[in-house]
Amino acid sequence: MPDTDHLAEAVALAAAAREHGNHPFGALLVTAGGRTVRAENTVLTTGDPTGHAETNLVRLAAAELTAQELATGTLYTSTEPCAMCCGAIFWAGIGTVVYALSGEGLIDLLPAGSGEFTLDLPSREVFARGGHTVEVRGPIEIAGAVEVHDGFWT
């Protein structure tokens, strides 16, 4: 399945997160053998500021998959992972990250003075400081990646 199909699923997970009362972010990990683990953002409904889609995904995937499956898996996410999520991805040993909307693109969507926390630190910069390689592909334009945020941050 091409990256765009998996990214479309990540965007659908982001829409589900929004419908469930959370920030609109979703992620999935697909192993080389085709196993898939999915997660969405749960920050607002759990009150856990670390409940980003990617950190939730890392927790689930690490419990279900072997280290080899993580290392050869690809994490697809609706929006570029923040520095916190990059740390979780790195420590889990996940080998590849593919994202749709860039972190910079997300920041551009936030209204001035929104009070939303932002951390303008691209994932490639975070992973470049690590002791093993994490391949990063993105941003990849995909339908719905921007639209899932429409009206949410106002």
Annotated catalytic residues are 54
In the structure encoding, which two tokens stand for residue 114, read together?
Answer: 């929104």
DSSP type of residue 99: E
The residue type at 30? V
Cβ-in-10-Å burial (0-12, 13-18, 19+) of 59 comes to middle
For the chain, the distance separating the N- and C-terminal CA atoms, rounded to the nearest angstrom, is 35
Our measurement of the distance from residue 2's CA atom to the centroid of its chain's CA atoms, rounded to an integer in Å, reads 17
In the structure encoding, which two tokens stand for residue 88, read together?
Answer: 């979780």
Q: Are the C-beta atoms of 98 and 7 separated by less than 8 Å?
A: yes
